[in-house]
Amino acid sequence: MKIENLYRQIIMEHYKNPLNKGLLSDADYLLIKMHNPSCGDDVTVQLKVEDNIIKDIRHDGVGCSICCSSASVMSEVLKGLSKEEAIKIAENFIDMVMNKEFNPNYLKGDMQAYSGVRTFPARVRCATLAWVAALKGLKEG
Ligand code: ZN
């Protein structure tokens, strides 16, 4: 199987069966909303950080398969990490998708499936939206 097809399958699997999807009505969670006007994606990320550890991440929204699946991967990868680790990994993912220099050692879970997005500049914002939301929450919260 070609690697592109494998990556597409991983993305479709997260799109159909997203992990950690659905927001909680819990005031302990930090809420970050992001919008991507070029594609119409809307993502809301909920973060719960305790003792510097990400205890939980939720996400919800409507958007294309790349955006929604990427939110699922983000929640799976970052949950349980320290704030510093999570920031490093999220920044590294964004660098990879934006075709900047990145460190493959910081690619976890299914993050690599989005490596091909760099050849489609119009979809970069789709892939990074949930990660940018999480970063914002981690840096401000
Ligand atoms: Zn999109």
DSSP 106-120: G--TTGGGGGGGGG-
Average pLDDT rounded to a whole number, residues 72-94: 98
CA of 61 to the centre of ligand 1 (A): 11
- How many A from CA of 68 to the centre of ligand 1? 8
CA of 21 to the centre of ligand 1 (A): 17
**Domain limits of the chain?**
3-140
- Beta carbons within 8 Å of 96's beta carbon, 6+ residues apart: 102, 107, 111, 114, 115, 118
| E runs forming strands in the chain | 30-36, 41-50, 53-62
In this prediction, residues 9-32 reach a mean pLDDT of 95
Query: With bands split at pLDDT 50, 70 and 90, how would you rate the model's confidence at 140?
Result: confident
Q: What is the pLDDT of residue 1?
A: 72
Is domain 3-140 given the CATH code 3.30.460.40 in the classification? no
Instruction: Give me the mean pLDDT over the 117-130 stretch.
Output: 96
Query: Is pLDDT at 14 greater than 90 in this prediction?
Result: yes
CA distance to 2, 44, 81, per residue, from 75 (Å): 27, 12, 11
The rounded Å distance from CA 52 to ligand 1 centre is: 31
CA 38 to ligand 1 centroid distance, Å:
8
32 CA from centroid of ligand 1 (Å): 18
Report the share of the chain in percent with pLDDT over 90.
94
Q: What's the gap in Å between 41 CA and the centre of ligand 1?
A: 5
Select the more confidently predicted residue: 4 or 81: 81
pTM of the full structure: 0.96
Distance 122 CA to ligand 1 centre (A): 9
DSSP summary character for residue 20 = T
Over residues 21-63, the pLDDT tens digits come to 999 998 889 999 999 999 999 999 999 999 999 999 999 999 9
pLDDT of the residue at 24: 93
pLDDT at residue number 106: 96
pLDDT band at 71 (very low <50, low <70, confident <90, very high): very high
What distance in angstroms lies between residue 19's CA and the mean position of ligand 1's atoms? 18
Between the CA of 131 and the centroid of ligand 1 the distance, in Å, is 13
